[in-house]
Amino acid sequence: MSRIRMNLQNFKRAAMVAAAASLLAGCSMLPSMPFLSSAAEKPKPAELQPNPNLLAVRQAWTAKVGAVDFPLVVAVNGNIATLASGDGAVMAIDASSGRELWRASAGAPLAAGVGSDGTTAAVVTRRNELVAFANGKEAWRQKLGALSYTAPLVAGARVFVLGGDRAVTAFDGATGRRLWSQQRPGDPLVLRQSGVMLAVGDTLVVGQGGRLAGLNPINGSVRWEAPIASARGINDIERLVDLVGRVSRVGDSVCARAFQAAVGCVDAARGTVAWTQRANGSDGVHGDASNVFGAENDGRVVAWKRDNGERAWTTDRLLHRGLGSPLALGRSVIVGDSFGFVHMLSRTDGTLLNRVATDGSAIVAAPVAVGDTLVVVTRNGGIFAFAPQ
């Protein structure tokens, strides 16, 4: 792909391009982007307030995987967490003890993963290969038509892949045979981060552009489409509204974020939009029956009411700390930052309940609850497990 050239009309637009460039990729390869050497200095991260220790938590165990330089999703099945490193190592851990159950290699650096149903685990390599493992042993691999940054979905004895071109392809989970592919018109740019793909009942729900689409998992036919955000602006970057993972699902209610545009909820049984609200974040959301939680680009953590999208609360105590996707767990909203801290905020009003440290590198995967254990992964490959006391 030739070098992308843009006319920077003013400083504000140039700064936006520089900030977005590291997140963007072409449909089949990574383009270079022009940077502005005089871009504004990054804001100073908010200083950490004293830790109130209002929520008792202890470190249960630690483990190590290789450095993580891709959009990692930790797959959870019962008490087992399956995860991977950028160099292609894939491993499963018993989260109750930290014991490694198996470790395998995809044979190449990874672009996306991990998806697992507890028996079959799947990742995508930077060679555009979908690699499936059965009980820790490589079962099959298939060449993909486009690179994927979204962890495969393993469900119903099938493996589903959402490509960088937003095509959805289904493979037989046992043999790797290609079953069907559903294509939509490609966008000029897509995000080099995890998109949206999940099962809701007998419907495969995927993010395609700024909308959620409900597909028939048997043949890929479209059952419904629900827009969360519409493209705006005068250039490809300004018009980018890809949906980003993680999502918050409660029953048929699926809530997701459109990159730097909006947060919204959809009734996945009917395929109708419940609400959308303008929002300026780049990472996914999580929630409970009452609220949907997410971090904005400036570090504000926001709770939107799940039934109507009104703001329940906002906190600015973590400004400019590079927050990722949150996890609603117990009475907390848990979010990691780019300095290796895990912050536990009150679901009621966003006040700090506790804070724990890891290895000083960024929390790169959205925190997950595995049984009674909270698991986070750092960029340096540290796996940290915490348990309530």
Helical H segments across the chain, by residue range? 11-21
Is 269 a domain residue?
yes
Span of 39-53, 146-160, 165-179 with lowest mean pLDDT? 39-53
pLDDT at 166: 85
Is 8 a domain residue?
no
- Torsion sign over Cα 93, 376, 198, 152: negative
Task: Produce one character per residue of 117-138: b if its CB has 16 or more CB atoms within 10 Å, e if not.
Answer: beebbbbbbbbbbbbbbeeeee
pLDDT at 41: 78
Whole-number percent of the chain with pLDDT over 90: 81
CATH number at residue 137: 2.130.10.10
**Cα gap 331→313, rounded to integer Å:** 15
**Cα gap 239→378, rounded to integer Å:** 31
236 pLDDT band, cuts 50/70/90, is low
Is 343 a domain residue?
no
pLDDT tens digits, 336-363: 999 999 999 999 999 999 999 999 999 9
What does each C-alpha distance from 282 to 37, 341, 371 come to in angstroms? 23, 19, 28
Check residue 72 and report its DSSP letter: B
Quote the mean pLDDT of the chain. 89
pLDDT tens digits, 11-63: 333 333 333 434 444 443 333 333 333 445 789 999 999 999 999 999 999 99
Domain that holds residue 151: 70-334
Q: What is the H or E stretch that residue 328 is in?
A: strand 327-329
pLDDT tens digits, 174-206: 999 999 999 876 666 677 889 999 999 999 999
Is 214 a domain residue?
yes
- Mean pLDDT, range 158-184, rounded to an integer: 94
Is 14 a domain residue?
no
Is 357 a domain residue?
no
92 and 131 Cβ atoms separated by less than 8 Å: no
For the chain, report the end-to-end CA distance as a whole number of angstroms.
54
CB neighbours of residue 252 within 10 Å: 13
pLDDT at 43: 92
pLDDT at 188: 62
**Cα gap 158→178, rounded to integer Å:** 10
- Mean pLDDT, range 289-311, rounded to an integer: 98
Q: Which residues on adjacent β-strands are paired with residue 130?
A: 124, 142
**Cα gap 139→327, rounded to integer Å:** 32
pLDDT tens digits, 56-85: 999 999 999 999 999 999 999 999 999 999
Check residue 12 and report its DSSP letter: H
- Mean pLDDT, range 90-102, rounded to an integer: 97
Q: Tell me whether residue 180 is exposed, middle or buried, using C-beta atoms within 10 angstroms of its C-beta: 0 to 12, 13 to 18, 19 or more.
A: middle
Specify the number of domains making up the chain: 1
Is 375 a domain residue?
no
163: which 2 tokens? Answer: 């490509």
The CA angle 145-133-368, to the nearest 5 degrees, is 95
pLDDT at 354: 97
Is 143 a domain residue?
yes
* Long-range contacts at 234-238 (CB < 8 A, ≥ 24 apart): 235/6, 236/187, 236/188, 236/189, 237/6, 237/16, 237/17, 237/20, 237/24, 237/189, 238/16
pLDDT at 192: 84
